[in-house]
Structure 1
Amino acid sequence: MRPEESTSERRRKEATLAALYDEYYERIARYIFVRLGDQAEAEDLAGEVFLKALESLDSYKERGIPMQAWLFKIAHNMVVDHFRKMAKRKTVPIDDVQIMAESDLQATAEANIELARVTKAVEQLTPVQRRVVELRFFGELTSEEAGQVLNKRAGAVRELQSAAIRRLRKLLCEES
């Protein structure tokens, strides 16, 4: 917020941010998590999305797209920036070691194997198909909303989604 903003303007923006946060935070965080695979990092970036939205709230009104699509565009851009920053770093993450009961370990191992299968299959989709799957299923956007994020017609989004599902089904059945 700019220093010259009035107190009432600042309060209005803060109230707007709070309402946006309540309505969209979980979906934005889930969308980012799917892209990053790290829950804590996804939550941090999701919070940053809303700070960025607050800073840009005045310019949003000029764009003429739904708020949800605008937030997902901000989230996408922040994920891209995150990957660029990570590519410049030469670090190796160290996972926290947790002691689990044997049954928990077995269930976790099975879930991880299944997640790896699905992730491997999703990675074989075209970039635009992958983005459609992420927005539609993890971001819970409608075809119209996903189309606004991707600058595509809703029908094109549905066609891409259909093609992606067929491809995923084929890849996962071949692997079984």
Structure 2
Amino acid sequence: MMTRTYDKEQIYDTYYPKVVQYIRSHVGQQQDVEDLAQAVFIKVYGKLDLFDPEKSGISTWIYNITRNTVIDHFRTMSHHQHEELSETLKDERGDVSEKVVLEEELEELANALEKLSGAERDLIILHYYKNYTLLDIAEMMHTPYGRIKRLHAKVLLKLKQLIR
């Protein structure tokens, strides 16, 4: 494999708008969008010497880093939201076994989400984490509403099988 050098400034100028657009379509808060975009480019620059152009194009590689960064963000958010919910629901004694069961279920869901395709995962994140309607998602994905409804039903069945 031949080592190739990349111009970091050119990579940033070329891909930053695309990275921000992708993150913005999944994350609502502008501050989170900026923080996540920054995290993506820190990862890109930190792993640039590991990039193999024979395996994929740089845009695909950066897209995968961006997608994984967004997934990690939602996993972290879900974990924090789960902790807040656990605290809210905890009785005066503090039911530790219930908290453990909820954390195991959250981890199982996160693992199942990783096994979905990008479009399937995007659909679940947009619908259940971002509270977009299936109609909104169809418009965002430039996909007919009927196809999104069928994909949604298929993904829910797939998740049920993966979580069992």
TM, length-normalised to structure 1? 0.46
RCO (CA 8 Å, sep 6+): is it higher in 1 or 2?
A: 1
